[in-house]
Structure 1
Amino acid sequence: MRAVTTNSAHAGRIRVEGSGRGGVLRLLLALCTLTAVFATATPARADSPVAPTQAAYLADRLRENPVHVTDQLPREVPRSTAPEFARLAKKTGVPTYVLVLPTQSSTDAEQLLGAVHDRLRRDGLYVLYEGTDLAEATAYGVRAPADAAATVALYELPYDAGPLRSFERFVEVVAQGEEKAAARAEAARETYADAEPAELYIGPSDRSDQSFLTGILLTGVPLMILLGAGLVRRRRRRAGAERRLPRWVVPGAATLAAAVIALTAPAVFDQTRSSAAEPPTPADLSARVERVAAGLRQNPVYADPESPRVLDDRGLDRLHDRIRDFRRSAGGGPVYVALVPQTPESEAAGDSWLFAAAVHDRTGRDGVYVVADPDDGSIDLYNYGLRIDSSRISFDLPDSVTLGDSRADEADDHLLGERLDRLMTFLDEAPRTDRPQLETDPAPAPSAAGENTLPPLFATDFWPGLFVGACLALLLFCVATGLMWAFDGLRRWRSPVPEPTHHLPLTAPTEPSESYLRRTARAELTALVQEFTDRDEAGQAWDLLDAALLLVDGDPGRLGEPAVDPATLVTVIVLARAGRAALSGDPTDLCCGVNPLHGPGVSRHHVRVSPQGPARRLLPVCDFCRDAAIADPTGVPGRLLRLPGPSSGQDRLPYYDVTDGPLTALPHGLARLVAKVRETAGVH
């Protein structure tokens, strides 16, 4: 405009000062110059009208309807949810305008709302959602607590609440008024400053965990009931307890547990969806493709009006010229450029190949389809029906064109104009083919209807869970059995139970500790006293019991006193075991002379009692020691019971050499042992 003013002034000066033919010529020259300047200052093309700006386009949409939901997010916010947004907006009490747009990294939400308001020229509450997030809310010319309501929606709801629930909470707070809204916003900040609200939805991995846990419980719990009941039943049988429960009780309890788990698990894990997104309708999924296809039928370059403008008029003119020249070139053809963002929430799930295929199918026109994303700056190229080597397009197109470089990353427009120009140069130089080439069909996009639907509870990892549950039940059963066995062993160690006679040769130690002898003596004598009291019998059993009690002055508790030496403890054990055998109807007068802890003797046998020399001694022996004396005579000295001597500390001697007490009479029989005890105690 400055050049126009200068030339106009110059023309006026020529017109005043000039005269005659020379003045006329100079006047004509000035007019021609003026015309050239205006032509240069107006570069707009007649065949490529300038698209409206983003704010102007959105203002037009709000002029038609106070709620505008983009068609680019059908998988997350379908356009069919617009009536629900409109219904909620009426509850604010003020004119409310709602925009739901894709996330735009290069656009300031507050500035965008201000620009839309300036073009719409209507006061009210303006709300902008970018994807599922409440990006901005501003009141223009009306009283509405927009900031407080946005704060409450942000803090009180989890991130997966979805835009509809978020807007519902926003409207609820706006309707409360400024004072209550401010108080609620402050309370929300304090409550959720350090901890976010619990998520409302679970994902497929969480559902797999639920299925796995259900499978484990469904087999593990009933199997544990069966195995645990069997373990308890065996322990009760060993203890001599009678059966108290009918046989059907345990299987019935296991079956009932399985039924309860199978019926309650679906009620506990009742989630069916992984997102708040409503299932899109077929119209939602096709709306954007139809819009872009309609735009490309009218103009080979379609710039998404909901996105920031990345090509200015000069860039658009340059791109139109290159497309026109390529179409007229030998082997060339139509080129269609779609400047449209590709988001995972779109109908193509962010796949530009799927998007290009759908647009080509809708337009019904062959050509090279270019998909340029104005948000991230990526460029993809697809050949449908032109005689251009598609492999060259797929593999030789430079990354600096398709993805950009560091300069493109730093620029707001990603240098798309410059890169598209280089793309057209690449197409001009691409090799031609004899036949038209077509892109193969892309893989279909995930089903939008079932994309947010969770798999059934009794599926996926439920079946492995059944196997793991059975394994865990068996493992726990083994652990429980081991712990009970260890507990019983500890209990026997602390308070041993008398051993059955047929176990004695195998369990009796050759060099017992003093603590072992004390525990065993106490257990055997206590058992004999109890059995004798219950049966109230006399005879040999009474003599044996009387002799054992004489050794402890009638008090079994003295067995724990240090004054009772190991030889006396062995004597008590022998007498008590012989007394219990007599009470059971199996009396004997012999006790194994090799190791009295082996129990009754069955015969007398000459056995070697020293590993050096042929020294032998006639001793009563049990079956175990008799077999050993016959098969391995030299091994018998190692089987002799050895006790700590009375003054030798840890030195061990054969039991009959340790003391002159009653135990020395044991090889001569139990009657001689009883007499020796009475003689030692001074009882006749």
Structure 2
Amino acid sequence: MTLITRRRAARLLLALCAVVTALTTAPVAQAQPEPRTQSPSQAAHLADRLRDHPVHVTDQLPRAVPRALAPDFARLAQRTGVPTYVLVLPSPYSYGDDLLGAVHERLGRDGLYVLVDESEVTAARSFGVRAPAEAAARAARHELPYDAGALRSFERFVDIVTEGAEKAEARAAAATAAYRDGEPEEMYIGPADRRNQSFLTGIALTGVPLSILLLVPYARRRLRAEHPPAGRRKKNRPAAPAPARPLPHRLALPAAALAAAAAIGVCAPLVFDQTRSSASPTPTPADLSARVDRVTAGLAHDPVYQDPESPRRLDAAQLAHLRDRIERFERSEGGGPVFVTLVPHTPQDESAGDEELFSAAVHAALDKDGVYVAADPLSGYIDVFNHGLHLDSYDLLLDLPDAIAYGTEKADEADDHLLAERLDALMTYLDEAPRTEEPSDVGSPAHAPSPTKEHALPPLFATDFWPGLFVGALAALLVWAVVAAAWTTVTRVRRRLGWALIPASPDTAPASPSEAYLRRTARAELRAARSAFEAAPPSPPRTAQDRYEAALLLAGTAGLGDPRTPPVHLLAVTVLARAARAALEGDNGARCCAVNPLHGTAVTRRHVRVSADPDRRRFLPLCALCRDTATAAPGDLHRQFLTLPHPSGTPVRYDEPADGLLSPLSNGYAGLVTKVREGVNTG
């Protein structure tokens, strides 16, 4: 071959190599790298679902987002104003944005892509359209509590998208700032909260009515004892029997207690009106059986079923190797079929996350005995259940090595949890497992929670409502005991310190009251007289009206709040107001005790000593207490005359000087009324 021919051949060979290299490297340069952990089969499967319908609701979340909600998601998606594609899949998906990108690439349609899990919008991306996807997703996530539900979260997301980019960014920033201060308040209560509500309702239903029945009569008796009507009869005077209260008055208190109980019984269900503990609707039987039917149909043709909605953990070579191991075990002595399901198990699926329940349902639907292996592609856990083979079922269920069941630290760090190697080790474990003489079975597992009752709260008048009734009765007794003890203690203290607003009896009326005591007593008696006149008939007795008007005149002139008001004026207001109330109540006594006007109405008149000089005597009206003292110790009576504070610091008797305001008191209330009117007119 000549040199020229060899050169041409070399050039032709180089050209052919260049062409081959270009053809083999160009696709590599143009192809996009696969997102992390997202296999082409998963994205392709989801793209096919969206190609059929823009909303795909998985069948793996029937307890949280049943497939019956797909029309609601579709209706909301139409409000965005742009093509919207929604994927509802179980969590966790650490690379939700990557998944949406891979699905968009395979679907080849621009629009708003949204990923929703069992509770909220987890990721959103816009491709070729103007929509604030990321801001709307962040705002919806932070504005709503975690128990708002997937559909309500997507609805909030759509509302924010329709507001535009500027408002969406503002809402996202505000929601994020508020979320740092604390999560939004939960929208639903749980069974424990409902028990607390029932307990509180029971306490109120018995505690409030019993408190009314116990406290009102007690307070009425104590008030009557501590604040007796002015001029009431003393113990040594025959008391007229109290008139029987009319029947309506006697029934008023029980009626009030019954009305309170009825009001609580009616209002409690209106206040505690929650009926469900979750936003999740009740799934239909078709929703609960959809995934089992799908897995069963796959196992009918292949002993290994990989969930197409989840990241693929076994490649073609690993699948072929696993199938080969399964076939060899099936042909071995004492062996049998092995069915491997790689599907996620969550509390929101048909079996409430129980792998044993799921495997039992698949076994019942497939109607084939064998070893059923539940391998979770998300958590990496492996569970083994024997149905009808010559193997020790409890050994497989309880004594499976941890390296196979849960994996090692290396498996935890791997994206695929080393499921291929661990399933291969499981097949070796099955090959070496001892055989039993009789076929074994794990038995019938417990049933999954009823979807009808799972999120339904118990009735308000149930559970802890009945103990609450008993506690309410005890609480009413305790409140009555505390009130009684506190009332008794306060009464004793204020009597000892002279703080009583109205003297309860002659025994407690001080002989030398302070100015503050006189001022408080005058105010209290005047208020009591005002209340009595407001409740009296339109035409009260003239005597009572004169005394009350005189008390008002003197109170207006003296000024009960003025510290310069003479103590004698305060005493006169007390005497007149008390006498006015006595007249309203039918006590026509014309005089009060001249020794101590705070003792009340006089019961007799007698010549008594008014000083240490036995020859100084006066004919004075006396109350029962002073009358007894005048009889038993006549020489001590003059020491019991009421004294009033004086600017000099030495108390003086109230009836000094003789021409003072209270000088006519010994002759009756009429003289005091006249004296007050003359003083006011003169002033």
Both structures adopt the same fold (TM-score exceeding 0.5) = yes
Residues of 1 paired with 2:600 and 2:253: CA distance?
A: 39
Check 1:380–1:583 CA distance in 2 against 1; reply closer, same or farther (3 A cut): same
Residue 57 in structure 1 maps to residue 124 in structure 2: no
C-alpha displacement of 1:458: 0.8
The letter for the 1-side match of 2:399 is D
Given that 1:494 and 1:519 are in contact with CA atoms closer than 8 Å, whether structure 2 keeps it comes out as no
Match of 1:90 in 2: 78
The letter for the 2-side match of 1:294 is A
Check 1:408–1:252 CA distance in 2 against 1; reply closer, same or farther (3 A cut): same
Check 1:579–1:390 CA distance in 2 against 1; reply closer, same or farther (3 A cut): closer
Which runs of structure 2 are paired with 1:596-607 in the superposition (5 Å)? none
Which secondary structure state, in structure 2, belongs to the residue aligned with residue 98 of structure 1? Answer: strand
The letter for the 1-side match of 2:222 is R
C-alpha distance after superposition, 1:127-148 (max 9, x if no partner): 0012212111001111111122
The range that moved more, 432-441 or 109-118, is: 432-441
Residue 135 in structure 1 maps to residue 202 in structure 2: no
Check 1:274–1:579 CA distance in 2 against 1; reply closer, same or farther (3 A cut): closer
Alignment partner of 2:457 out of 454, 459, 479 = 454
Match of 1:124 in 2: 111
The letter for the 1-side match of 2:74 is A
Which secondary structure state, in structure 2, belongs to the residue aligned with residue 82 of structure 1? Answer: helix
Given that 1:392 and 1:430 are in contact with CA atoms closer than 8 Å, whether structure 2 keeps it comes out as no
Alignment partner of 1:152 out of 139, 144, 160 = 139
Match of 1:420 in 2: 423
Which secondary structure state, in structure 1, belongs to the residue aligned with residue 431 of structure 2? Answer: helix
Match of 2:627 in 1: 583
C-alpha displacement of 1:518: 7.5
The letter for the 1-side match of 2:112 is L
Residues of 2 paired with 1:166 and 1:499: CA distance?
A: 69
Alignment partner of 2:208 out of 198, 201, 221 = 221
Which secondary structure state, in structure 2, belongs to the residue aligned with residue 320 of structure 1? Answer: helix
Larger radius of gyration: 1
Match of 2:352 in 1: 349
Residues of 2 paired with 1:527 and 1:222: CA distance?
A: 48
C-alpha displacement of 1:395: 3.7
Which secondary structure state, in structure 1, belongs to the residue aligned with residue 340 of structure 2? Answer: strand
C-alpha distance after superposition, 1:613-672 (max 9, x if no partner): xxxxxxxxxxxxxxxxxxxxxxxxxxxxxxxxxxxxxxxxxxxxxxxxxxxxxxxxxxxx
The letter for the 1-side match of 2:377 is P
Residues of 2 paired with 1:457 and 1:425: CA distance?
A: 56
More RCO (CA 8 Å, sep 6+) = 2
Given that 1:144 and 1:174 are in contact with CA atoms closer than 8 Å, whether structure 2 keeps it comes out as yes
Residues of 1 paired with 2:353 and 2:179: CA distance?
A: 34
The range that moved more, 306-315 or 251-260, is: 306-315
Match of 2:309 in 1: 306
Residue 181 in structure 1 maps to residue 178 in structure 2: no
C-alpha displacement of 1:580: 4.6
Residues of 1 paired with 2:321 and 2:134: CA distance?
A: 44
Check 1:415–1:517 CA distance in 2 against 1; reply closer, same or farther (3 A cut): farther
C-alpha displacement of 1:424: 0.6
Alignment partner of 2:59 out of 56, 61, 71 = 71
Check 1:275–1:496 CA distance in 2 against 1; reply closer, same or farther (3 A cut): closer
Given that 2:87 and 2:116 are in contact with CA atoms closer than 8 Å, whether structure 1 keeps it comes out as yes
C-alpha displacement of 1:436: 1.5
Given that 2:58 and 2:89 are in contact with CA atoms closer than 8 Å, whether structure 1 keeps it comes out as yes
Give aligned pairs, total: 506
Given that 1:496 and 1:519 are in contact with CA atoms closer than 8 Å, whether structure 2 keeps it comes out as no
C-alpha displacement of 1:153: 1.0
Which runs of structure 2 are paired with 1:505-520 in the superposition (5 Å)? none
Given that 1:286 and 1:347 are in contact with CA atoms closer than 8 Å, whether structure 2 keeps it comes out as yes
Residues of 1 paired with 2:613 and 2:191: CA distance?
A: 75
- The unaligned stretches of length 5 or more in structure 2 are 1-8, 14-38, 230-241, 519-591, 641-683
C-alpha displacement of 1:110: 0.8
The letter for the 2-side match of 1:64 is D
Check 1:71–1:398 CA distance in 2 against 1; reply closer, same or farther (3 A cut): same
Which secondary structure state, in structure 2, belongs to the residue aligned with residue 434 of structure 1? Answer: coil
Residues of 1 paired with 2:134 and 2:419: CA distance?
A: 36
Match of 1:285 in 2: 288
Residues of 2 paired with 1:305 and 1:226: CA distance?
A: 69
Given that 2:190 and 2:457 are in contact with CA atoms closer than 8 Å, whether structure 1 keeps it comes out as yes
C-alpha displacement of 1:393: 1.8
Match of 2:252 in 1: 249
Match of 1:81 in 2: 69
Which secondary structure state, in structure 2, belongs to the residue aligned with residue 126 of structure 1? Answer: strand
C-alpha displacement of 1:460: 1.1
% identical aligned pairs: 54
Which secondary structure state, in structure 1, belongs to the residue aligned with residue 439 of structure 2? Answer: strand
Given that 1:493 and 1:519 are in contact with CA atoms closer than 8 Å, whether structure 2 keeps it comes out as no
C-alpha distance after superposition, 1:586-630 (max 9, x if no partner): 9335999xxx99xxxxxxxxxxxxxxxxxxxxxxxxxxxxxxxxx
The letter for the 1-side match of 2:458 is P
Match of 1:7 in 2: none
Residues of 1 paired with 2:325 and 2:452: CA distance?
A: 41
The letter for the 2-side match of 1:194 is D
The letter for the 2-side match of 1:308 is P
Match of 2:585 in 1: none
C-alpha displacement of 1:162: 0.7
Residues of 2 paired with 1:549 and 1:404: CA distance?
A: 114
The letter for the 2-side match of 1:93 is G
Given that 1:336 and 1:367 are in contact with CA atoms closer than 8 Å, whether structure 2 keeps it comes out as yes
- The unaligned stretches of length 5 or more in structure 1 are 1-11, 17-50, 505-515, 555-575, 598-684
Match of 1:659 in 2: none
Check 1:128–1:539 CA distance in 2 against 1; reply closer, same or farther (3 A cut): same
Given that 2:383 and 2:397 are in contact with CA atoms closer than 8 Å, whether structure 1 keeps it comes out as no
Match of 2:402 in 1: 399
C-alpha displacement of 1:94: 0.9
Given that 2:511 and 2:596 are in contact with CA atoms closer than 8 Å, whether structure 1 keeps it comes out as no
Match of 2:276 in 1: 273
Check 1:533–1:401 CA distance in 2 against 1; reply closer, same or farther (3 A cut): closer
